[in-house]
Amino acid sequence: MVTVNSIEELFEVTKLFNGSVGFVPTMGALHEGHLSLIQQARRENDFVVVSIFVNPTQFLEGEDLEAYPKKEKADAKICELAGVDILFIPTIEMMYERDELKITAPSIRGFILEGTKRPGHFDGMLQVVMKLLNLIAYNKPKSFRAYFGKKDAQQLVLITQMVKNYFINVEIIPCPIIRDSDGLALSSRNIYLSKEERVKALALSRSLKRASELVMQKEFDVSTIQKEMLKVLIEIEVEYVALVNHQFQALKYIELNNTIILVAGRVGRTRLIDNLWI
Ligand code: AMP
Can you tell me the mean pLDDT for 218-227?
98
Mean pLDDT, the chain, integer: 97
Q: State whether the Cα torsion 57-242-278-163 is positive or negative.
A: negative
For residue 194, with 0-12 CB atoms within 10 Å meaning exposed, 13-18 middle and 19 or more buried, which class applies?
Answer: exposed
The pTM of the whole model exceeds 0.95? yes
Q: Where are the domains of the chain?
A: 2-175, 188-277
Q: Is the CB of 115 under 6 A from ligand 1?
A: no
Q: Is the CB of 118 under 6 A from ligand 1?
A: no
Q: Please give the number of the atom of ligand 1 that sits closest to the Cα of 179.
A: 19
Give the Å distances, CA to CA, from 43 to 37, 106, 192, 193.
10, 33, 32, 33
CB 172 within 8 A of CB 156: yes
Residues 49, 3: Cα–Cα separation, whole Å: 10
Q: Is the CB of 272 under 6 A from ligand 1?
A: no
CB 52 within 8 A of CB 87: yes
Band (pLDDT 50/70/90 cuts) for residue 175 is: very high
Nearest C-alpha neighbor of 72 from the set 87, 92, 58, 56: 87
Q: What is the CATH number of domain 188-277?
A: 3.30.1300.10
pLDDT of residue 230: 98
Residues 112, 121: Cα–Cα separation, whole Å: 12
Band (pLDDT 50/70/90 cuts) for residue 74 is: very high
**Active site members:** 34
Q: Please give the number of the atom of ligand 1 that sits closest to the Cα of 177.
A: 20
Residues 59, 206: Cα–Cα separation, whole Å: 28
33 Cα: distance to centroid of ligand 1 (angstroms): 6
Q: Which CATH number fits domain 2-175: 1.10.357.10, 3.40.50.300, 3.40.50.620, 3.30.70.990?
A: 3.40.50.620
Q: Is the CB of 188 under 6 A from ligand 1?
A: yes
